[in-house]
């Protein structure tokens, strides 16, 4: 009975101006058309509603643009409290000065509750329908974050962070064994919670924070639980030098993950940043199917540099976009799309004329299907995709002349904020 009701609620059509990516070069635009959701799964787009769907509810959004939900492939819920603050340092100093002291506060569940509530509320206001999120080392606070995310209706992978070295005493896990043990406890508590929207993801912070013993323990956990993994890679020159010193046997940063079996060999893996990945590192990412989470705003704000995203796309790597708060200062995935384009233009003009700037179609693809693929069939309105959609109202963006749907989408990407979001669906459920 429950199931029947659920099926009814998640079977409907939306009508409006539809935009979605077929692939990175092809943006499909269907004006005043229907997209059908059946039992939470997209059944494609139609100019006229086919006979077999004529009895399902149709929600009309005349003059609105409807896009697949946006996928934030890398962000830190535990840093949102200082979003837009302390933006004056490079990565390692920034971690020590601003980030680690903030994350230590999440030992206090009351603080965590206040802070995560703000993060989840703001994430819900935006166009993000799926996110891959760092918590902190704390089991209880991370569970709390997962519960809040679960309620929000946004689908997410959330990670309890592992770190047993090179960080302040009040944040550092006592030992590799204790870190692994806490992670196991967290995973078992997650299993008890029976989450619907939220899943755990292994989250060794990055090589400088994780001893070899910890990485080995996490590799075992990964095999046991079959968990995906997120971490950071080749973000900053100082960080890369530190990894070189810590792991003299690794020829490149990514190999330090690979040596523990945590570079995508056994499970889907996201590496955030990849600003300075070497040819060998890129080749291994490709072999292992590693997802690159490109975070252009964060990479600018920490003066890291600009990742060669065009190269990754040309080589066929998996690439998505991340807001990476609080090195990034905005949860807006629209800004992530615009920033990816702008930074690629600056990279072209200032650093390397061989890599052409990203086009709108490509950056939009990254924020939808590109990152969405990490979740499965996510990020498109093609038949068989899970039904995530965002309805956009661009009436506030006045214009003295009429615009094409492609133009209206472009303008929204550069200029939209949460006021332009009229409705949001995840897996066929309306969450806003």
Residues 29 and 17: beta-carbon distance below 8 Å: yes
Residues 69 and 21: beta-carbon distance below 8 Å: no
Angle at 356 between CA 358 and CA 318, to 5 degrees: 55
- Residue number, 160 or 347, with CB nearest to a copy of itself: 347
Q: d(Cα 343, Cα 349) in Å, to the nearest integer?
A: 10
* Gyration radius of the chain's alpha carbons: 21
- Residue number, 285 or 341, with CB nearest to a copy of itself: 341
- Residue number, 55 or 398, with CB nearest to a copy of itself: 398
Nearest-CA neighbor of 298 among 348, 232, 362?
232
Q: d(Cα 152, Cα 308) in Å, to the nearest integer?
A: 34
CB of residue 175 vs a copy of itself: minimum separation in angstroms? 30
CB of residue 349 vs a copy of itself: minimum separation in angstroms? 5
75: which strand partners?
133
- Residue number, 46 or 414, with CB nearest to a copy of itself: 414
- Residue number, 57 or 168, with CB nearest to a copy of itself: 168
Angle at 315 between CA 311 and CA 319, to 5 degrees: 75
Q: d(Cα 63, Cα 229) in Å, to the nearest integer?
A: 40
- Residue number, 247 or 341, with CB nearest to a copy of itself: 341
Nearest-CA neighbor of 303 among 237, 207, 253?
237
Please classify residue 209 by burial: count the beta carbons closer than 10 Å to its beta carbon, then call 0-12 exposed, 13-18 middle and 19+ buried: buried
- Residue number, 112 or 282, with CB nearest to a copy of itself: 112
CB of residue 121 vs a copy of itself: minimum separation in angstroms? 8
Q: d(Cα 31, Cα 410) in Å, to the nearest integer?
A: 15
CB of residue 332 vs a copy of itself: minimum separation in angstroms? 10
Task: Kindly list the residues in this chain that would bind a copy of itself in the complex (CB under 8 A).
Answer: 81, 83-88, 105, 111, 114-115, 118, 121-122, 297, 300-306, 329-330, 338, 341-343, 345-351, 357, 359-360, 397-401, 403, 407, 410-415, 417
Residues 154 and 197: beta-carbon distance below 8 Å: yes
Residues 187 and 162: beta-carbon distance below 8 Å: no
CB of residue 365 vs a copy of itself: minimum separation in angstroms? 16
CB of residue 79 vs a copy of itself: minimum separation in angstroms? 12
CB of residue 267 vs a copy of itself: minimum separation in angstroms? 33
Q: d(Cα 143, Cα 112) in Å, to the nearest integer?
A: 10
Q: d(Cα 338, Cα 222) in Å, to the nearest integer?
A: 35
CB of residue 391 vs a copy of itself: minimum separation in angstroms? 19
- Residue number, 19 or 342, with CB nearest to a copy of itself: 342
CB of residue 299 vs a copy of itself: minimum separation in angstroms? 8
- Residue number, 113 or 193, with CB nearest to a copy of itself: 113
Give the length of the chain.
Answer: 432
Nearest-CA neighbor of 366 among 318, 315, 421?
318
DSSP 96-125: IIIIHHHHHGGGSHHHHHHHHHHHHHHHHH
- Residue number, 45 or 327, with CB nearest to a copy of itself: 327
CB of residue 28 vs a copy of itself: minimum separation in angstroms? 19
């Amino acid at each position: 009975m429950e199931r029947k009701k659920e099926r009814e609620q998640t079977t409907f059509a939306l009508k409006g101006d539809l935009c979605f990516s077929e692939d990175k070069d092809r943006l499909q635009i269907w004006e005043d058309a229907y997209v059908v959701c059946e039992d939470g799964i997209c059944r494609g787009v139609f100019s006229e509603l086919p006979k077999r769907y004529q009895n399902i509810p149709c929600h009309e959004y005349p003059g609105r643009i409807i896009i697949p939900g946006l996928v934030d492939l890398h962000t830190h819920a535990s840093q949102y409290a200082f979003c837009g603050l302390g933006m004056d340092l490079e990565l390692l100093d920034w971690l020590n000065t601003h980030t680690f002291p903030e994350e230590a506060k999440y030992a206090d569940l009351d603080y965590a509750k206040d802070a995560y509530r703000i993060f989840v509320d703001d994430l819900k206001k935006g166009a993000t329908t799926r996110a891959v999120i760092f918590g902190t080392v704390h089991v209880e606070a991370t569970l709390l974050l997962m519960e809040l995310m679960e309620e929000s209706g946004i689908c997410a992978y959330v990670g309890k962070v592992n770190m047993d070295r090179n960080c302040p005493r009040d944040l550092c896990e006592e030992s590799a064994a204790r870190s692994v043990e806490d992670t196991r406890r967290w995973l078992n508590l997650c299993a008890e919670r029976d989450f619907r929207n939220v899943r755990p993801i292994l989250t060794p912070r990055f090589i400088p924070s994780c001893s070899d013993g910890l990485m080995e323990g996490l590799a075992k956990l990964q095999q046991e639980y079959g968990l995906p993994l997120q971490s950071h890679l080749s973000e900053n020159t100082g960080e890369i030098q530190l990894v070189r010193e810590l792991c003299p046997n690794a020829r490149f940063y990514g190999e330090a993950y690979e040596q523990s079996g945590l570079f995508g060999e056994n499970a889907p893996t996201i590496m955030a940043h990849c600003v300075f990945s070497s040819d060998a590192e890129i080749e291994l990412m490709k072999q292992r199917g590693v997802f690159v989470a490109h975070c252009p705003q964060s990479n600018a704000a920490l003066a890291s540099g600009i990742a060669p995203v065009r190269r990754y796309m040309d080589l066929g790597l998996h690439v998505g976009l991340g807001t990476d708060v609080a090195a990034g200062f905005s949860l807006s995935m629209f800004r992530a799309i615009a920033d990816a384009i702008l930074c690629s233009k600056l990279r072209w003009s200032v650093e390397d004329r061989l890599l052409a700037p990203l086009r709108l179609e490509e950056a939009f693809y990254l924020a939808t299907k590109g990152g969405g693929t990490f979740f499965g069939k996510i990020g498109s309105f093609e038949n068989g995709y899970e039904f995530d959609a965002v309805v956009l109202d661009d009436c506030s963006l006045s214009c003295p002349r009429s615009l094409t749907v492609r133009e209206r989408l472009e303008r929204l990407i550069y200029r939209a904020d949460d006021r332009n979001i009229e409705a949001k669906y995840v897996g066929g459920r309306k969450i806003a």
